[in-house]
Structure 1
Amino acid sequence: MKNRRINWRVATVADARWETSSARTLVLDVPDWPGHLPGQHVDIRLTAEDGYSAQRSYSIASAWSEGGRVELTVQRLADGEVSPYLTDVVEKGDQLELRGPVGGWFVWREKQPAPVLLIGGGSGVVPLMAMIRARGQVRGRQPFRLIYSVRTPEDACYADELRRRVRDDPGLDVHFVYTRKAPEGWPVPPKRIDVATINSHGWPPDFQPDCFVCGPTSFVETAADILVALGHDPTKIRTERFGGA
């Protein structure tokens, strides 16, 4: 990926699709895009006719790329300034102001040989999905495990793709945690992520995995504390929290 100054660009919406009833993926054509790493994000700026502007950060959902196409999955927040516009108003052909890619710490690089543990809460799965897609793109051999916490089965983004990738991408395992409603026949009742979940479906600390945790602040703090309590190296635990949009 080339190193360039981060400037504002005008991106064009090439396509849009719903992931859930409240989460929408925007496919953007971005001129002179320098490429990105899985885990990075972009800033989106909306400016009203009266000059008022609002800016929010969104994780990139697509794998690394040297081309000019970027995918963002946006979760609508009822009281948000930007997300309702991106989910409910934006149409194909519309233009958005975009700046990025941003961030260099919460990223996965294909040269990292360690096993990877991904823990996502809600829309916190977005940058983790970029990592899964990047691994699939380069046919990475590093074993990946994703623990994905959602309220209900209907709230899970990328559910069909994840099932397909578990089937087709050797070394990828996915475990869902449902906090409010589980699918019929699910072996455990709805619950929040806990020690037993991470101990059973994560990597043992002796494997020294690279851990990436993303979601709401309380979720991230809980998961990170559990990882440390289980004996994982704190320097190999990378976290990212998200707020309003």
Structure 2
Amino acid sequence: MTAPVRLLLVDDDPLVLRGLRLMLAGSPDLEVVGDVDDGDRLVTAVRETTPDVVLLDVRMPRVDGVTALRRLRAEPDLGLPAVLVLTTFDTERVVLDAMRAGAVGFLLKHTPPAELVRAVHAAATGEPTVSPTALRRLIDHVALTEPTTGREPGTPPVTARAAEGALRTPSAAESAAGGSHGPPSGSDDRPGTRLDLDLLTDRERDVALAVAEGMGNSEIARELYLSPSTVKSHLSSALTKFGLTNRTQLAIAVHEANRRG
């Protein structure tokens, strides 16, 4: 029998914590191993409960969720759990900061219970989940804030390199310092790094387009009549070809490529 997914809840609102417990209690394959009411207790709680997944609120009175996540990532001796950010705030800055800090997903608190349970299971297997609203805000923000210095006239915005820089996860040293940085020093935005979907095979392109629609690997497998392992292989190949590191970066780049037509 498969062990249940161990879940830690972090939110400063006791009613939200109680509601999450009730919402998740009906899933026998999930086990809530603890809850804490502020980000300053996250590292200690993870040490004590060893969760597989953390549901983390963003706005808390003493230490916000993003700062708490950075502190967690700066602890090299911890087996880091997957972190899902669950909040009422879906501004592009919050989404970017959470993803940079290492969150594997971003959901809004009004997410239906069944979708929340699916997201927890996806996070436990390392599969990111971002709400469609948050993903759209993220795409628009990267498109509007990409540096234009050095771009040739007529060069379309948002390249694969720009998407990668915008979502780059900080190192442990950067996390410890509380920093949130953009592209590495010396990186550029050459037109030659623009994402070209023609570089993909037909199946890789199908998978990339499905990722851009917010579909998870299991859903893509059903939609395209492929095995989950084949989907994972195509996704890995697409990321490698474009020099990206995660599916959120790929989703941004695909949306921008489609917008260019």
Higher helix share: 2
- Say which structure, 1 or 2, has more relative contact order (CA 8 Å, 6+ apart): 1
Whichever structure has more strand as a proportion of its residues is: 1
TM-score (norm 1): 0.29
Structure of higher CA gyration radius: 2
